[in-house]
Amino acid sequence: MGINPRNTSKELFDLMMKAGFSQIDCTPDSASPKMLKLLKKNFTLNQLLKTANLIKENKMPTMWFFLFGGPGENEETFAETFNFIDQYINPEDMVHMTPDCEFIPEHICIKQL
């Protein structure tokens, strides 16, 4: 099941654990405040950090998804996402990275240019 960082809570994770969840997916696409805004994500970095902490506290195996190379991406935003991965994601979790999302013409970021 995919989880949106906007609405996570301890109660949600308690219910998922009781229901027998053994793995979740989280698709923040970025951990850069600038890129979250450009990608029109409906959550903030603080909400993502809260979610990452809840995932760790509950020892919930997670598949993470990130996009790199979209319009507005630079060394700083790239580093912000990699720092998040290093600091908040369990080394046993899987992380899928998609490079060069700017080459997808129908991507929402491209339509704005």
pLDDT > 90 in the chain, percent: 78
Could you tell me the pLDDT band of residue 105, with boundaries at 50, 70 and 90? low
pLDDT of residue 113: 47
- Dump pLDDT digits (tens) for 71-103: 889 999 999 999 999 999 999 999 999 887 654
Whether the pLDDT of residue 55 is over 70: the answer is yes
Instruction: Give the whole-number percent of the chain exceeding pLDDT 70.
Output: 88
Find the helix or strand (DSSP H, E) in which 67 lies. strand 62-67
The answer to whether 64 touches 89, Cβ cutoff 8 Å, is yes
Alpha carbon distance 83, 86 (integer Å): 5
**31: Cα separation from own chain's centroid:** 6
- DSSP secondary structure, 45-69, as one string: HHHHHHHHHHHHHTT--EEEEEE-S
Q: pTM of the prediction?
A: 0.85
The owner of tokens 């999302």 is: 101
